[in-house]
């Protein structure tokens, strides 16, 4: 049960997020103004690998690598889309609250590079085999290509379910990307919805599968992915 909960947290980090691929696309595309036209649909995939280590009780260090493959619906698109490398620490001052800080380096196709800082707070409440959490994530992204900053507050409501007497856990969530810049073109940047399944293989290995759908003011995005976690937890 503890291991499943840790993986669910790790999948949240995937951008440590899991919407990092969608986030990359929303940053690259200009924001729509005025009347919307028909939105294009994009589809991609993601592979995440994470290593976690409990330094002391309630303090976990992590190192992660996320690989994104290009839009399947674009003819002759290159296979590689982006890779995100992250390092951070998670602290649980209370069983019902998690705090996280992380740095992420992003390398995109076309030799574009970005730096990102992330701060998260995630309170949760547990009832039976269910856990309901609300994560608030502040992030700042610096693009080296045009020397610009992007500021977002990402609010995500998530419901986890631990399947009794099995090494499996499932979850669903909804997330809203809130722009923090002055006079944004739209009151939101993106909405995202996802579901996943986690399998605790043994005490040190966890495997997860997930699907995400998101939509911004100018596009739709589908993402399928797999996540692997190697951990040493106390």
pLDDT above 50 for 1: no
Would 159 be classed as within a structural domain?
Answer: yes
- Mean pLDDT, all residues of the chain: 85
Q: What is the pLDDT of residues 157-191, one digit of tens each?
A: 999 999 999 999 999 999 999 999 877 777 788 99
Confirm whether 21 is domain-assigned: yes
- What is the reported pLDDT for 158? 98
Would you give the distance in Å from CA 24 to the centre of its chain? 11
Whether 155 has a pLDDT exceeding 60, the answer reads yes
What tokens were used for 162? 């631990």
Is residue 39, in this structure, part of any structural domain at all? no
Domain range for residue 151? 2-30+45-232
112: domain CATH number?
Answer: 2.40.160.40
Q: Tell me what pLDDT residue 163 has.
A: 96
Predicted local distance difference test score (pLDDT) of residue 32: 36
On the CB side of 9, CA atoms within 13 Å amount to 28
The answer to whether residue 81 is domain-embedded is yes
Structure confidence by residue, pLDDT tens digits, 73-127: 677 777 888 999 999 999 999 999 999 999 999 999 888 999 999 999 999 999 9
pLDDT digits (tens, 9 = 90+) for 21-31: 445 444 443 33
Determine, yes or no, domain membership for 188: yes
Other CB atoms within 10 Å distance of the CB of residue 109: 15
The predicted pLDDT at position 17 comes to: 38
Structural domain count of the chain: 1
Residue 37's pLDDT band, with cuts at 50, 70 and 90, is low
What pLDDT does residue 71 have?
73
- 184-230 pLDDT, tens per residue? 777 788 999 999 999 999 999 999 999 999 998 888 999 999 999 99
| Mean pLDDT, range 123-132, rounded to an integer | 97
CA distance 177 to 99: 19
Domain assignment present for 11 = yes
């Amino acid at each position: 049960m503890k291991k499943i909960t840790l993986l669910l947290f790790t999948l949240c980090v995937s951008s440590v997020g899991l919407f990092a691929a969608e986030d990359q696309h929303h940053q690259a595309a200009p924001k729509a103004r005025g009347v919307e036209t028909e939105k294009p649909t994009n589809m991609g995939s993601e592979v995440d690998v994470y290593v976690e280590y409990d330094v002391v009780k309630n303090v976990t260090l992590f190192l992660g690598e996320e690989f994104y493959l290009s839009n399947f619906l674009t003819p002759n698109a290159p296979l590689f889309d982006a890779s995100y490398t992250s390092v951070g620490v998670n602290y649980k001052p209370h069983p019902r609250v998690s705090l996280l800080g992380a740095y992420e380096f992003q390398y995109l196709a076309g030799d574009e590079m970005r730096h990102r800082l992330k701060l998260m707070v995630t309170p949760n409440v547990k009832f039976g085999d269910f856990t309901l959490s609300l994560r608030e994530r502040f992030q700042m992204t610096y693009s080296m290509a045009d020397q610009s900053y992007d500021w977002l507050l990402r609010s995500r409501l998530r419901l986890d379910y631990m399947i009794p007497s099995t090494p499996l856990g499932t979850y669903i969530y909804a997330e809203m990307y809130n722009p923090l810049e002055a006079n944004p073109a739209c009151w939101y940047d993106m909405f995202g919805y996802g579901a996943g399944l986690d399998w605790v293989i043994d005490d040190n290995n966890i495997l997860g599968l997930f699907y995400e759908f998101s939509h911004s003011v100018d596009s739709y995005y589908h993402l399928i992915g797999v996540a692997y976690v190697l951990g040493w937890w106390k």
